[in-house]
Amino acid sequence: MRINRIARDITVLADEMEVPGIGHLPVNAFVLHATEPVVVDTGLSLPGRGFMDALGSVVDVEDIEWIWLTHPDRDHTGSLFDLLDAAPNARVVTTFAGVGIMSTERPLPMNRVYLLNPGQSLDVGDRRLTAFRPPLFDNPSTVGFYDESSEACFTSDCFGAPMPSADLAIADDVGYSSPNDVRAAQHLWASVDSPWVQVVDETKFLATVSALAALQPRWLLSTHLPPAHERTTEFLAMLASAPHADPFIGPDQAALEQLLASFEPA
């Protein structure tokens, strides 16, 4: 895990996971150093990732007031319950649907939950965070947010892209990769993670892109992309064309058997 301080009040806890045949998928969590500190997602649900140690190196864990869970998929909830134990005053920001989804595995303590819907705001002491649903998402409870103070938009899975190497996946800026490669990888990720975008009413979808454009964020901070600074116009154009990207067709059983055979000793 790599720790990247990308702005005065934002730290990225950058991890990655190799997806065979696709690339290295960034898996970021964030710390917003507000008066009431906010942790955005809690990393992969895999052993030995070092999330709590990394988090403790950038913030006093006991001081954390908020855990913004952008949605309860396993690549966002890895250290959630460890963090709840270590931060006794922290509350989990999620939706009614998010609580329900979590309860199928391990229920959240309801006195530690703060329900927030898109369009509502959360006061964290020195700023207000405005919740919104990103244009692309893979989970019905997804809620990102915009922070006017840092001009950063936390977009969950939206804008994600697998990178060709682990180093690029945990880089402190997406600018280390070529724009054409990033755009192609973002379209691939859109077709994998949000395949509905290729059958949705395009007019309605573009309205959600326009709503994000109206925020005019300087930072786009996705769980699955290195931080993007001053790339909003470019990335919104990518989103607008996502309905026309090639659909993703994954390997079938024959391909799996061929792959497994390649690992068998001669």
Task: Give the start-end residues of each E strand in the chain.
Answer: 2-7, 10-19, 23-32, 38-40, 66-68, 91-94, 113-115, 121-123, 128-132, 144-147, 152-156, 219-222, 228-229
The reported pLDDT for the residue numbered 20 is: 85
Per-domain boundaries in the chain: 2-262
* Contacts of residue 13, Cβ cutoff 8 Å, sequence gap at least 6: 1, 2, 3, 28, 29, 30, 31, 43, 51, 54, 55, 58
Candidates 155, 151, 148, 116; CA nearest to 133 is 155
CATH class of 2-262: alpha beta
Task: Please indicate, yes or no, whether the overall pTM of this predicted structure exceeds 0.85.
Answer: yes
Alpha helices in 41-176 (DSSP H): 51-56, 80-86, 96-103, 166-169
Q: Per the structure block, which two tokens stand in for 148?
A: 């006017």
The reported pLDDT for the residue numbered 237 is: 98
Write down the mean pLDDT value for the chain: 96
Instruction: Dump pLDDT digits (tens) for 216-257.
Output: 999 999 999 999 999 999 999 999 999 999 999 999 999 989
Please give the Cα distance from 245 to 62 (Å, whole number): 45
Stretches where the chain sits below pLDDT 50 are none
Cα dihedral 42, 172, 147, 37, rounded to 10, equals 50
The reported pLDDT for the residue numbered 266 is: 60
Please give the Cα distance from 253 to 242 (Å, whole number): 28
For 8, counting Cβ atoms within 10 Å of its Cβ (0-12 exposed, 13-18 middle, 19+ buried), the class is exposed
The reported pLDDT for the residue numbered 208 is: 97
Task: Compute the residue count for the chain.
Answer: 266
